[in-house]
Amino acid sequence: MARRRQAVTIKHVAADAGVSLQTVSRVINKEPNVRPSMQEKVQASIDRLGYIPSIAAQRMSGSRSYLILALNDRERTIADWRARQGSDWIDQMLLGGMLKCAELGYRMIFELVDTHNDHVERELGAAIAALQPDGVILTPPHSDNPLITNLLTAHKIPFAQIGSEGQGGGIPLIMGDQDAARKATEHLLGLGHTNIGFIAGPSDYLLSGWRLAGWKGAMESAGCATSGKSQEGDFSFASGAAAAKILLCQSDRPTAILASNDHMAVATMEVASELGLSVPTDLSVISFDNTPMAIFARPSLTAVDQPIADTTARAIELLISAKNGDTPVLGPTIIPADLVLRDSTGPAPL
């Protein structure tokens, strides 16, 4: 295969504009100290020749690769893809991240890593060596993995930690779980519910705690009891069903349940149906995440949306700012989550 050469290089532009390579480089990188007339002349040549810099060459000589690496857990991601159940986490990251990258002249590359073992360091190290990304986006459950955060810190590569409060020294972003849980609970309170159950996520996810706190806070502010009204699941359908069964078989049965993800909410509706309860007449249900499952459930689920796209987009912006040496934002960036109203919620039964 023939040696491949760039069609139009910086040399062509320089020759065309009658200036040095360096001046063209300055124009490309929007550096100061270029006379406007020069800048215009060079830009005209660039446009005329349709010149686009090679990112490989930029990376070779300069300090940037114009590449952002997004890391996801290998096992979970592949399992979701194979299940074809419409878990759209990756799509939403792509939606927010790719478009924002494109806007800023960057590209996003996905990489899967094994969180469970020590391969992480080798795998991530290889990706860093091969690509030299300008920034890395970490996602749960490894946003706070010290093996990863230490490695990135050592390499001086800025990184965003989605769903983390930023212990690792990166840029933390969280999705307003606590506020959203409060909002969802308040919505139910507004519908007249006072006995509202909660199905929590596993405690090793930080967001499980945030969601729980939001529900608890809203309940307590309204003077409603929370004791004995919450059960922990592990995000799976089975665990949701088990939790729902416990809550719904109590003598003082809740008239509404807030479940920490869509799977557990669907399970709750199924259990309700088995018990002869209809949703939303006898029981209102609200879920978290708003994956496609929430739309397709019958009745469709009122859900707290997870603003993955917005969060990823913001992560990209902050990463590039950090790379540019801008002063970092203090504290975690919170992306607010909306409540999407559908058919699984209604007024409390009399």
Partner DNA sequence: TTGAAAGCGCTAACAC
Partner DNA sequence: GTGTTAGCGCTTTCAA
Count of residues near a copy of itself by CB under 8 A: 62
SS3 (DSSP) at 179: helix
CA 295 to chain centroid? 20
Find which of a copy of itself, DNA, none residue 309 binds, CB within 5 to 8 Å per kind: a copy of itself
Does position 334 interact with a copy of itself (CB under 8 A)? The reply is no
Indicate whether 25 belongs to the interface with DNA (CB under 7 A).
yes
Length of the chain: 350
171-174 sheet: strands from edge to edge:
107-113, 67-73, 135-138, 159-162, 171-174, 333-334
For residue 223, state whether it binds a copy of itself (rule: CB under 8 A). no
Contact 315, 173 (CB under 8 A): yes
For residue 297, the number of C-alpha atoms closer than 13 Å in the C-beta half-sphere is: 29
Residue 35 within binding range of DNA, rule CB under 7 A: yes
Q: How far is CA 152 from the centre of its chain?
A: 19
- 190 is written with which tokens? 């507004």
278: Cα within 13 Å, side-chain hemisphere: 2
- Spatial contact of 278 and 321, defined as CB atoms under 8 Å apart: no
Residue 164 or 291 having the CB closest to a copy of itself: 291
DSSP 21-48: HHHHHHHHTT-SS--HHHHHHHHHHHHH
Residues 110-139 that bind a copy of itself (CB under 8 A): 110, 112, 122, 125-126, 129-132
Residue 11 site contact among a copy of itself, DNA, none (CB < 5 to 8 Å, cut-off depends on kind): DNA
Amino acid identity at 131: L
Asked if 21 is part of the footprint of DNA (rule: CB under 7 A), the reply reads yes
Does position 23 bind DNA by CB under 7 A?
yes
In the complex, minimum distance from the CB of residue 36 to DNA, in angstroms, rounded to a whole number: 8
Query: Binding segment for DNA among 56-64, 231-239, 276-284, 292-300 (CB under 7 A)?
Result: 56-64
Residues near DNA (CB under 7 A) are 3, 5-6, 9-11, 19-26, 28-29, 32-35, 37-38, 51, 53-54, 57-58, 60-63
Residues at the contact surface with a copy of itself, assessed by CB under 8 A? 1-4, 6-8, 50-57, 59-60, 62-63, 65-66, 78, 80-82, 84-86, 88, 90-92, 94-95, 98-99, 102, 107, 109-110, 112, 122, 125-126, 129-132, 155-156, 290-293, 295-298, 309, 323-325
